[in-house]
Amino acid sequence: MNIDIAKPSAEPERRGRKASKETRRQQLIEATIDSLAKYGYSETTMADVADGAGLSRGIVNFHFESKEKLLVATLQYMADEYAAHWRSALQKAGEDPARQLAVLVAADFERSICNRRKLAAWCAFWGEAKSRPTYQALCGARDQAYQDVFVDLCQRLKADGDYDFDPRDTALCLSAMLEGLWLRLMMGAEDLTRESAHRAAADFLVTIFPKHFSRDGQRVHKADR
């Protein structure tokens, strides 16, 4: 009787190689963020990234071929991470627009997203975006989606509270304030921490939406009005 002996599957090996490749790419991206934070955009080199990741320079060239491709991949990673972060926060907030807005604002100051290292890397990319259409195209759609959520929440809160403001203008001011606080944190303002920046942003919500937020940190419910 002939007995067929199955050959070992190559799938685990392929998965292992894929995991190794993804791990190395992630190491290089994290090292690029470190280099951007330490040296800035123009001074970041493939050699710096390789040294920071503890990998050979040939590995960097193998995975990304050029500094530009490495930087695009890094920006892609950061944009994806930020989008996943705020979308996850929004999904967990429920249906109340005041709760959703408060959660989105708080999410901007969580340590995983808001730290000197990543803020400095974001600023490095922002400084180049005007002259690099690739960067604008990469982040433009995500920025618009985020802004559209703010506009929608402002529209819903206006209708609920009978406020007298333009939702788009208010949403623009809100996003500009959050970006400004990020910039001040990145610059190392002595009087500003993540916690105090969050408090300032929360105070802005009280000012614009007094029927929905209060300065004691509690949201104002309809029954309380």
The tens digit of pLDDT for each residue in 169-193 reads 999 999 999 999 999 998 887 889 9
Average pLDDT, the chain: 85
For position 220, what pLDDT does the model report? 54
Q: With CA atoms as reference, report the closest residue to 131 among 206, 195, 42.
A: 42
What superfamily would CATH give domain 72-224?
Tetracycline Repressor, domain 2 (1.10.357.10)
User: 0.85 exceeded by the pTM?
Assistant: no
Q: Is the sign of the CA dihedral 84, 86, 87, 92 positive or negative?
A: positive
Residue 136 has pLDDT above 80, yes or no: no
Query: pLDDT confidence of 218, banded at 50, 70, 90?
Result: low
Residue 134 has pLDDT above 90, yes or no: no
The tens digit of pLDDT for each residue in 20-73 reads 888 889 999 999 999 999 999 889 999 999 999 998 888 888 899 899 999 999
All structural domains of the chain with their residue ranges: 9-65, 72-224
What superfamily would CATH give domain 9-65?
Homeodomain-like (1.10.10.60)
Beta carbons within 10 angstroms of residue 178's beta carbon: 20
Question: Would you say the CATH fold of 72-224 matches that of 9-65?
Answer: no
